[in-house]
C-alpha cells in the first residue's frame, strides 16, 4: 500500500482546522464560558476544515476551465508534457469526441517508461479505467487491451 503524498492543499486544510479550533474556542469562551470553549472549538474545527478546502476547490476549477478552453492539438501536446494530469486531459479529449483507442499507446508508453513517476501515473490510468469504464483498457498477460469492440482490431 502506498502512502498518500502530503500536498500544500493538505496543509491549507490542516491550518484551517487548527485556526478554526483556536478561533472558535476563543470566541466561545468569551461568550459562553467553558461550555462555549468546547462547543466553539468543535464548531471551529469543522468550519476551519471546510474553509481550508477552498484553495483545492478553486485550483481544481481553474484547471478544469483551462482544459476546457484548450483546443484538441494543445491538449494532445499537454498530454505528453503534463502526464500527472493525463486523466483529466484524456477525459476532456473524450468529451470532445476523440476516439478512445487513440490513448492505448499513450497509456502503454507511460507504463513502459524508464521514469518510476510516469509508470505510476500509467498504472493509475489503468485503475481509473477499471473503476469508471471511461477509458476501457485492461491489462492481460502484460499487454494492454481495449474492452470495447470499436477499438479492438
Q: Angle at which helices 8-52 and 54-69 pack, to 10 degrees?
A: 110
* CB contact at 8 A, 144 and 137: yes
Assess whether pLDDT exceeds 50 at residue 97. Answer: yes
Q: By the 8 A CB rule, do 137 and 126 touch?
A: yes
Task: Report which DSSP code applies to 83.
Answer: G
- Averaged pLDDT for residues 73-98: 89
pLDDT given for residue 30 in this prediction: 94
pLDDT at 135 over 60: no
| 116-126 residue pLDDT tens | 888 888 888 87
| pLDDT over 90, % of the chain | 48
**Residues 6 or more apart from 122 whose CB is under 8 A from it?**
107, 108, 109, 110, 111, 112, 113
Please give the model's pTM, rounded to 2 decimal places: 0.69
DSSP state of 150: G
Amino acid at each position: 500500500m502506498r502512502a498518500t503524498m502530503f500536498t500544500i492543499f493538505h496543509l491549507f486544510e490542516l491550518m484551517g482546522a487548527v485556526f478554526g479550533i483556536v478561533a472558535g474556542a476563543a470566541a466561545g469562551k468569551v461568550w459562553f464560558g467553558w461550555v462555549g470553549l468546547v462547543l466553539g472549538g468543535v464548531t471551529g474545527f469543522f468550519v476551519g476544515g471546510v474553509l481550508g478546502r477552498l484553495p483545492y476547490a478553486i485550483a481544481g476549477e481553474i484547471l478544469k476551465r483551462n482544459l476546457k478552453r484548450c483546443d484538441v492539438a494543445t491538449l494532445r501536446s499537454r498530454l505528453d508534457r503534463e502526464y500527472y494530469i493525463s486523466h483529466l486531459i484524456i477525459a476532456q479529449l473524450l468529451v470532445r469526441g476523440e476516439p478512445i483507442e487513440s490513448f492505448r499507446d499513450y497509456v502503454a508508453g507511460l507504463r513502459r517508461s524508464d521514469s518510476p513517476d510516469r509508470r505510476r501515473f500509467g498504472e493509475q490510468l489503468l485503475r481509473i479505467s477499471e473503476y469508471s469504464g471511461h477509458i476501457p483498457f485492461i491489462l492481460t498477460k502484460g499487454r494492454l487491451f481495449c474492452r470495447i469492440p470499436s477499438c479492438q482490431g
